[in-house]
Copies of this chain bind each other. A is one copy, B any other.
Amino acid sequence: MKILISNDDGISSPGIYALAQELKKIGDVTVVAPLTEQSAVGHAITMKSPLRVTKYEKNNEFFGYAVDGTPADCVKMGVRNILQMNPDIVVSGINHGSNAATAVIYSGTVSAAREAAIMDIPAIAVSITSHDASHFSYAAKTAAYFCKLIAEKGLKKGSLLNINVPDIPDDQIKGIRLTKQGRTKWDDKYEKRVDPYGQDYFWLTGELVRLDYDMSYDQFAVDNNFVAVAPIHFDLTDNDTYNEMGGWNIQDIKI
């Protein structure tokens, strides 16, 4: 199995190393990841400036290719220029921090996997729920398990799995839950500060607000020590609203 690995925390992060070590047991791994941390970059791609690619060593061994761009850039570069072929699967992570529920929208980790889905390559994003991530082993084994399962069962073109793993010891994990994307929002604000030159600047701060309390949604499942596996896609069509708007009498009108 040919596996392309990326992330958004950067090629030097512990999470991507743990993932690569595990996936090497089941396939031929190529790592192409951002040179620097790219958290919360969403699905940004680099078009107005060029990219550079450098070889990156870890423990005196070649580990992978570092790209001075975004996670989505890394997947494009990995497929188009480095592998020059579609891998069997793209795995992004292990992200340091949850990408459950609405966080999926902001996540560079998920965007790397989604870029693969846009290219019709099966993909998995895997995250652990703490920014001080310390328990990578269950997440890495889960990624390997789903790589094998997707190879066996197939995954619809355009789909990817968004997997979130509680950052707790392996023996406290209650098991896998197949879930939908939950809903969260942020009660956020910008904290104003004044720089030494008397000018205002603003830091984003805020609390995550949970909106679903149901085990069929990813956020609640990980909050309850389950691994949440949510199949997602990049068709954003809101079919309910589409049907509702059928009654708005806008078809073919001119403004």
- Could you tell me which A residues sit within 8 Å of B by CB distance? 37, 39-48, 50-53, 72-73, 76-77, 80-81, 102, 104-106, 111, 114, 118-120, 138, 141-142, 145, 149, 153, 155-156, 158-159, 162, 173-178, 180-181, 183, 185, 188-190, 192-193, 199-204, 227, 229-242, 244-246, 248, 250-255
Contact = CB atoms under 8 A, between A and B. Distances in A.
B45 A43 contact: no
Copies of this subunit: 2
A189 B111 contact: no
Contacts of A53: 200, 202
Contacts of A102: 118, 234
A175 B254 contact: yes
Contacts of A44: 40-42, 44, 106
Nearest to A138: B255
Contacts of A155: 241
Contacts of A141: 255
Given A80-B188, A190-B77, A238 B51 contact: no
A201 B42 contact: no
B246 A238 contact: no
A51 B204 contact: yes
Nearest to A204: B47
A244 B150 CA distance: 12
A255 B143 CA distance: 10
Contacts of A204: 45-47, 51, 73, 76
B81 A242 contact: no
A176 B253 contact: yes
